[in-house]
């Protein structure tokens, strides 16, 4: 069965885009190559490391596994949609404040995974944060700072400074 090349209308970070891709192209490649969004990263393509994490609707999703044909009307959010260097979003600012990165390759995925958690659970416990983030790997060992950054952002969102 051949994979047809189709046109897909995608809502990404609040804007409408039209891309032309084979139906089985994972969303990851569409975001990176067709929309030039760098946040979602290729880490394994197997759904094991979380570097490709984006949000689709309210869920954190592994974009390396999601065929572009499955996105439909669900809004896609990447790290670029949370803020910019000039105006970082709450999580992004928290990661900058905590200097929560070494090589930084996993960080955009971490931020999106955390964003999904904080949007669903406004005041998660440390235990909840740890277990929610479990799917995302960090090879450099930046975990302690990542946890602190998520905690910091969570406190900020809950209005606790």
Give residues 138-157 in contact with other proteins (rule: CB under 8 A): 138-145, 147
Taking 3-state DSSP, the helix, strand and coil percentages for the chain, each rounded to the nearest 5, stand at: 40, 15, 45
> Does residue 76 touch other proteins according to CB under 8 A?
no
In the set 90, 102, 119, 155, which binds other proteins (CB under 8 A)? 102
CA 27 to chain centre: 12
> Does residue 75 touch other proteins according to CB under 8 A?
no
- What is the three-state SS of 109-138? HHHHHHHHHHHHCCCCCHHHHHHHHHHCCC
Span from 89-97, 117-125, 151-159 in contact with other proteins (CB under 8 A): 89-97
List the x/- string, 110-129, binding to other proteins by CB under 8 A: -x------------------
In whole angstroms, give the CA distance from residue 124 to residue 57: 20
In whole angstroms, give the CA distance from residue 129 to residue 151: 8
Nearest to other proteins of 29, 154 (CB atom): 29
Span from 101-109, 117-125, 153-161 in contact with other proteins (CB under 8 A): 101-109
Nearest to other proteins of 24, 123 (CB atom): 24
User: Ramachandran region of residue 8, left (φ > 0), alpha (ψ -120 to 50) or beta?
Assistant: beta
Q: Name the minimum Å distance from CB 40 to other proteins.
A: 8
């Amino acid at each position: 069965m051949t994979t047809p090349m189709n046109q897909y209308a995608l809502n990404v970070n609040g804007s409408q885009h039209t891309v032309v891709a084979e139906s089985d192209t994972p969303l990851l490649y569409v975001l990176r190559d067709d929309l030039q969004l760098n946040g979602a990263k290729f880490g394994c393509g197997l759904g094991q490391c979380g570097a490709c994490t984006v949000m689709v609707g309210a869920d954190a999703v592994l974009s390396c596994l999601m065929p572009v044909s499955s996105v439909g009307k669900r809004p896609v959010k990447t790290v670029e949609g949370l803020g910019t260097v000039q105006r970082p979003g709450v999580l992004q600012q928290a990661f900058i404040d905590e200097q929560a990165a070494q090589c930084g390759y996993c960080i955009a995925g971490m931020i999106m995974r955390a964003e999904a958690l904080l949007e669903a659970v406004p005041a998660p416990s440390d235990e909840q944060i740890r277990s929610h983030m479990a799917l995302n790997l960090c090879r450099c060992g930046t975990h302690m700072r990542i946890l602190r950054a998520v905690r910091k952002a969570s406190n900020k969102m809950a209005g606790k400074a």
